[in-house]
Amino acid sequence: MINIKRLLKEPRIIIVMILILVALVAIRPYPQLNEKGTMSLETNIKQGIDMKGGARALIHLMDSTDDNLRKTIVVLERRIDSYGVKEKLIRPVEVEGEWYVQLEMAGSDEEELRDLIERQGKFEATIDRNISLLNNTAAFNINKKPYEMEYLPDRDAIKIGDDVLEIDDTIEVEGIIVKYINKTADDVVTLRSYVITGEDIKQVFNDAQHTGISGTGSNWKFEFSITISREAADRFAKVTSDLTKDFSGTRTYLSSDIDLYLDDELVDSLKISSDLQGKAQPDIQISGPGDSRDDAWINMNKLQSILESGALPTEIEIVQMNTISPSLGEQFIRTAIMAILFSIIAVSIVVYFRYRDPRIVIPMILTSCVEVFLIFGAAALIQWTIDFAAIAGIIAAIGSGVDDQIIITDESEKRKDELSLKRKLKRAFFIIFASAATTIAVMVPLLTVGGGGVAGFALTTMGGVIIGVFVTRPAFAKVIEHIRR
């Protein structure tokens, strides 16, 4: 008979029990009411889209340099993090010698993912000024300084100083980029001043104090605040200092609006209060529409995410997009759990027919279960995503663990005296360490040359082998020592 009290005092067993408690805290299982109105058990384990359902995209970079690849991954990570998605996976994938980015968002759909990543993220806030010509000449002020402008009819261009601008050409005046937009039939020239760019955004607020949604029916509007750089605030002050004031009802506004563009698409036009004229205002209010309250909230969240993450370093193309439904994800979870349980049961049956001793078989089963639990705990602790590739790695680790336990058990049977038993167990661990080193050596190349799920399989297998060699298998060896005495 095994002396359970004496066994529980062994340091190796105590370490295993402590790690089980740490894993339990990391996994943190808790009940939660789901959309169907029933209670389900949730954990802190990050689940891949094949477990939870979601959307996956394969993205091609138009200019796929190493620097652009790195920056693209960073921007996409920030964008999705600020959107509030906790369970995501972004990784580079090499296809036929060319690098792509694979992106997964658990609990999302294809439309939501596409809206987030297709945006280049180039943000610009501009102020247009309409300047009337008199005999093809005019004067306009920036920062209260006058600049002479001449219209050249034969070229449909304007001349400012020594610079000639055709339509869409730009010039820098007082540190502000000014673009020539057009000339209307009634001799009005439109000039566009760029006051804020995406690089000027220092903070995007998403708390209740700085955000709001209002409206009724199908007419809703969102608002949130951003903080811009001092340079952008100075540009705003310079451009607005020379605008005229218009009276609208009970309020007074400046003669030009501030237009917000995202990827050259007009998002919204905001009136500028006359109180802000000529002031370096670092806090700007952003607004936009929505067909419903939920739609306005989603639009606001997406815009906040894009502004906070910044622009992508190069244009991208979505070459593949697919979606896994949540119901299919639930089926995958059940299948994964059944696969792990079946592997443990199948191995247990084989081991029982080999030894026909419950004192050996039961510790083997418990050791395999503890090993799986510790792997999940480690994954939750480091926020490693568990997907089907990771499940395959766990099953491979179980097989490796049982092999090692059989080696320990067989070596312990060869001699009965205690001194020989310890020597034989050391010999068994030499074999186990050599086998583990070989397994890890085989898996390391898969982390670098293997993409996607291959890397996930390799990392999980390595983690399982390391946990087994240093934690669970020494504890099993100690159990065998007590059995053989």
Assess whether 196 and 263 both reside in one domain: yes
> Average per-residue pLDDT in the chain?
83
Comparison of pLDDT for 175 and 35, the residue scoring more: 175
Q: Using alpha carbons, select from 279, 192, 190 the residue that is nearest to residue 241.
A: 279
Assess whether 12 and 106 both reside in one domain: no
Is 139 within the bounds of a domain?
yes
Task: Band the pLDDT of 421: cuts 50, 70, 90.
Answer: low
Assess whether 131 and 95 both reside in one domain: no
Look up the domain containing 427 and give its range: 4-33+326-484
For residue 448, the model assigns a pLDDT of: 65
SS3 label, residue 248: strand
Measured distance CA(221)–CA(290) in Å, rounded: 6
Is 304 within the bounds of a domain?
no
Q: Using alpha carbons, select from 483, 473, 412, 485 the residue that is nearest to residue 15.
A: 473
Is 46 within the bounds of a domain?
no
pLDDT at 179 over 90: yes
Q: Using alpha carbons, select from 226, 270, 280 the residue that is nearest to residue 126.
A: 270
Provide the pairing of β-strand 265-270 with 145-152: unpaired
For residue 158, the model assigns a pLDDT of: 93
Q: Which residue has the tokens 């917000």?
A: 260
Beta strand ranges found along 133-175 (DSSP E): 137-142, 145-152, 157-160, 163-165, 170-173
Provide the pairing of β-strand 123-132 with 188-197: antiparallel
Measured distance CA(176)–CA(98) in Å, rounded: 40
Measured distance CA(102)–CA(112) in Å, rounded: 16
Assess whether 113 and 128 both reside in one domain: no
Q: How far is CA 120 from CA 61, 78, 136, 196, 316, in A?
A: 12, 14, 39, 17, 8
**Which of 4-13, 400-409, 414-423 has the lowest average pLDDT?**
414-423
Find the CATH number of the domain harbouring 79.
3.30.70.3400
Phi, psi (rounded to 5 degrees) for 386: -95, 115
Assess whether 146 and 186 both reside in one domain: yes
pLDDT at 452 over 60: no
Helix (H) / strand (E) element for 125: namely: strand 123-132
For residue 240, the model assigns a pLDDT of: 92
Residues 6 or more apart whose Cβ sits within 8 Å of residue 135: none
Q: Which residue has the tokens 């804020």?
A: 196
Assess whether 82 and 226 both reside in one domain: no
Contact by Cβ (8 Å): 356, 93: no
Domain boundary among 306, 323, 340: 323
Measured distance CA(324)–CA(55) in Å, rounded: 6
For residue 453, the model assigns a pLDDT of: 61
pLDDT at 260 over 50: yes
Q: Averaged over 306-335, what is the pLDDT?
A: 79
- Name beta bridge partners: 379: none
Q: How far is CA 240 from CA 9, 139, 169, 233, 249, in A?
A: 78, 16, 22, 11, 21
Is 308 within the bounds of a domain?
no
Task: Band the pLDDT of 71: cuts 50, 70, 90.
Answer: confident
Task: Band the pLDDT of 360: cuts 50, 70, 90.
Answer: confident
Assess whether 130 and 156 both reside in one domain: yes
Q: State both tokens at 290.
A: 């929505």
Is 303 within the bounds of a domain?
no
pLDDT at 141 over 70: yes
Q: State both tokens at 58.
A: 């394969």
- The amino acid that residue 178 corresponds to is V
pLDDT at 419 over 50: no
Helices within 86-158 (DSSP H only): 110-118
Assess whether 114 and 132 both reside in one domain: no
Measured distance CA(143)–CA(195) in Å, rounded: 13
pLDDT at 343 over 90: no
Q: State both tokens at 258.
A: 């501030």
- The amino acid that residue 127 corresponds to is I
Measured distance CA(162)–CA(140) in Å, rounded: 16
Is 82 within the bounds of a domain?
yes
Assess whether 65 and 206 both reside in one domain: no
Is 423 within the bounds of a domain?
yes
Assess whether 276 and 374 both reside in one domain: no
Question: Torsion over CA of 289, 291, 295 and 296, rounded to 10 degrees?
Answer: 30
Provide the pairing of β-strand 157-160 with 145-152: antiparallel
Contact by Cβ (8 Å): 408, 428: yes
Q: How many domains does one find in the chain?
A: 3
For residue 329, the model assigns a pLDDT of: 62
Read off the pLDDT of residues 465-479 as tens digits, 9 standing for 90 and up: 888 888 888 888 888
SS3 label, residue 478: helix
Read off the pLDDT of residues 181-210 as tens digits, 9 standing for 90 and up: 999 888 899 999 999 998 899 998 888 888
Count CB-CB contacts under 10 A for residue 288: 19
Find the CATH number of the domain harbouring 461.
1.20.1640.10
Q: State both tokens at 79.
A: 């964008």
Comparison of pLDDT for 58 and 337, the residue scoring more: 58
Q: Using alpha carbons, select from 194, 178, 191, 195 the residue that is nearest to residue 131.
A: 191
Measured distance CA(256)–CA(272) in Å, rounded: 7
State the number of CA atoms in the 13 A half-sphere of 257 facing the CB: 11
Read off the pLDDT of residues 218-253 as tens digits, 9 standing for 90 and up: 788 888 889 999 999 999 999 999 888 887 667 788
Assess whether 103 and 132 both reside in one domain: no
Q: Averaged over 112-138, what is the pLDDT?
A: 87
Q: In the 3-class helix/strand/coil scheme, how is 469-482 assigned residue by residue?
A: HHHHHHHHHHHHHH
For residue 151, the model assigns a pLDDT of: 92
pLDDT at 328 over 70: no
For residue 414, the model assigns a pLDDT of: 57
- The amino acid that residue 296 corresponds to is A
Is 43 within the bounds of a domain?
no
Tallying the residues shown for the chain, one arrives at: 485
Contact by Cβ (8 Å): 321, 110: yes
Assess whether 345 and 237 both reside in one domain: no
Domain boundary among 323, 342, 358: 323
Contact by Cβ (8 Å): 387, 453: yes
